Chains A and B, each alone.
Chain A
């Protein structure tokens, strides 16, 4: 649902800030002074041009505290979400325990709930989307960053950023009117030919796992390109001119950084997916079979969930989705940290 801004990636290539060293020039009148430790404050105070009036220093402190509060609010929001999901899913967790994660019946009438078909659908569509979008996106990113003239690349990137901002319901409509008939007409001969294999078993409705996966791929490709290009442009010119071996490492970097972000985006997509996936909580191996995802069932059933257990089960789905997204983002963080370490070691 939410779009992760590309900003964290922008720091990847950044070096630690080097503080300006205090001037060692001897003052006109030598004063005996005890040696002071060089701190950031000291550096700022000694530079005459940067001396601040007390009024402004207070404003500075206020600004810092405000910024800190804003930063902490992120933590508070995440924490609140986790706690709320956990508390409100209590009736479902009591009723079904861990079996919620691996049972497949979703029956609001008889109050039986299992999340497995939704987890499967979410992971399967995401996997299809990444399998298609990664080579496509990275290829385009490399082309934009390395092969094209910079100005042309900038122009195309602007268009890409527009694509990232297109509401997902619009992608969903395109999916319904273009992709679904396409999958149906292309899928039918495939099914006739390979229908014996479980992966291509019919009937081909046009909606289903494959359609949802392809649509998701279309949605995350601009994202992968935009982020991938930024990472590639962050490569210092010296290295760019340097060894091919370094280039190979960069390829790894791009792949490892961009993927988890695209993954998080694909996992949570709701509107476009629900429009083309068929919303059927079944686990069928076929690419053409209708399926369901966690985000989609939340959007579909939340408003009308009348019984407490049904509501709690939906909240627990939210909790599971939150957990999966958290893990994916955590892995992304670790990758970035690891890379920064490697960079420092090289420098």
Chain B
């Protein structure tokens, strides 16, 4: 009996090693954000087809987990929907480079009988989620939606109950447009919501909104498009009501490109451009600037260069807005900062 189990264990471990060898010479591991997971897995798959000797594994464990793991060095790269804070950056052994990959947007979605389209001002969104605007026929909402018959019902705000980059982007936007939000709630992947009920994940929020009358929630644009949810237009800084679309998101990014900080940690919510959608954000890969394993380092840099060129062309098909040309140029320069091999 014991001899058998020993044999079994030996066979298993041999098989494991053989499998690893067969998979490819270079295995790169990453972990982090869930929002870009569909495009990342597509990219890693496509890249593997072009470079069969490179296998990139990605675990979508959440931005917080991605930041922790890349800080500890348990993965080769991380990914996050919100940039790392200065304290988090100070805690890493190797300086971490933020590389924007694609853009996403967060959109308000709602459930009002007979109403398919609504327009939201920043004051309306902040007021609703602060609990100051409590009824759908409130003057602030009525003013932005002339001709729409708003019901005299209580508003039920719905937010994410799990920590998420989506919440980070949404609260980052509210922090910029509302001083009261900034001082009393603030921004983060999870916040202390003044009002509302929580749903787990985009699907949880969508479920609550779809099932409960008079609700308003926020979800990722990709998710809203795929599930054909009613999506509200949001008034941007230029005073125009803009629907989230790949074009209006890229426009928001382009306006940020001109004053992009060298570390790419930039928030593009409430962007200044005339046709920019205001609740948009980059999502980042977190790459250590020194990669000891030369093969891994080369594979990583090759992938990043490919992602900035051909990879970007795949993004719109999956409802992710591609990076503006100016940002791609800056990132190509930034790739030079990654040193490979023991130095």
| Chain A interface residues (CB < 8 Å from chain B) | 62, 105-110, 112, 176, 180-181, 184, 203, 205-207, 274-275, 278-280, 290, 292, 296, 299-301, 303-306, 310
Contacts and interface: CB of A to CB of B under 8 A. Distances in A.
Nearest to B162: A300
B192 A110 contact: yes
B161 A300 contact: yes
Interface centre among B188, B192, B197 (most CB of A within 10 A): B197
B64 A306 contact: yes
Contact of A303 (B62, B156, B185, B197): B62
Contact of A304 (B162, B187, B197, B198): B162
Contact of B64 (A105, A279, A299, A303): A303
Contact of A176 (B88, B163, B190, B211): B211
B341 interface: no
Instruction: Return the 8 tightest CB-CB contacts between A and B, nearest first.
Output: A304-B163, A279-B198, A279-B161, A303-B62, A107-B192, A304-B64, A109-B186, A278-B197
A288 to B, nearest CB: 12
B230 interface: no
A280 B191 CA distance: 11
Contacts of A310: 190
B187 A109 contact: yes
A290 B190 contact: no
Given A274-B161, A301-B162, A304-B164, A280 B64 contact: no
Given A303-B61, A304-B62, A207 B197 contact: yes
B186 A110 contact: yes
A274 B162 CA distance: 10
Nearest to B163: A304
B192 A109 contact: yes
Nearest to A63: B1
B309 interface: no
11 contacts: A109-B188, A296-B161, A299-B162, A300-B161, A300-B162, A303-B61, A303-B62, A304-B62, A304-B189, A306-B64, A306-B189
B196 interface: yes
A41 to B, nearest CB: 23
B212 interface: yes
A275 B200 contact: yes
Given A203-B154, A280-B198, A180 B211 contact: yes
A177 to B, nearest CB: 8
Interface string B42-65: 000000000000000000011111
Contacts of B280: none
A296 B211 CA distance: 21
A181 B211 CA distance: 8
A120 B207 CA distance: 25
A105 B191 CA distance: 11
A298 to B, nearest CB: 11
Contacts of B212: 184, 205-207
Interface string B276-298: 00000000000000000000000
A168 to B, nearest CB: 13
B192 A106 contact: yes
Given A108-B190, A108-B192, A279 B200 contact: yes
Contacts of B188: 108-109, 306
B78 to A, nearest CB: 12
A105 B62 CA distance: 24
Contacts of A301: 162-163, 190
B151 interface: no
Nearest to B212: A205
Contacts of B186: 109-110
B110 to A, nearest CB: 15
B208 interface: yes
A337 B184 CA distance: 54
Contacts of A180: 211
Contacts of A300: 161-163, 190, 198, 200
Nearest to B91: A308
B199 interface: yes
Contacts of A109: 185-188, 191-192
Contacts of A106: 192
A303 B192 contact: no
A265 to B, nearest CB: 21
Nearest to A278: B197
Interface centre among A62, A109, A180, A184 (most CB of B within 10 A): A109
Given A279-B199, A300-B161, 6 more contacts: A109-B186, A109-B188, A184-B212, A207-B197, A274-B161, A305-B190
A18 B8 CA distance: 40
B67 interface: yes
B204 interface: yes
Nearest to A173: B207
A139 to B, nearest CB: 33
Contacts of B164: 304
Nearest to A106: B192
B207 A176 contact: yes
A144 B216 CA distance: 48
A112 B154 CA distance: 30
B254 to A, nearest CB: 29
A306 B207 contact: no
Contacts of A107: 191-192
A280 B196 contact: yes
Interface string B183-224: 001111111110011111000100110011000000000000
Contacts of A292: 161, 198
A109 B212 CA distance: 28
Contacts of B189: 108, 304, 306
Nearest to B154: A203
Contacts of A303: 61-62, 64-65, 162-163
A221 B207 CA distance: 27
Nearest to B210: A176
A296 B200 CA distance: 10
B182 to A, nearest CB: 10
A287 to B, nearest CB: 15
Nearest to A112: B192
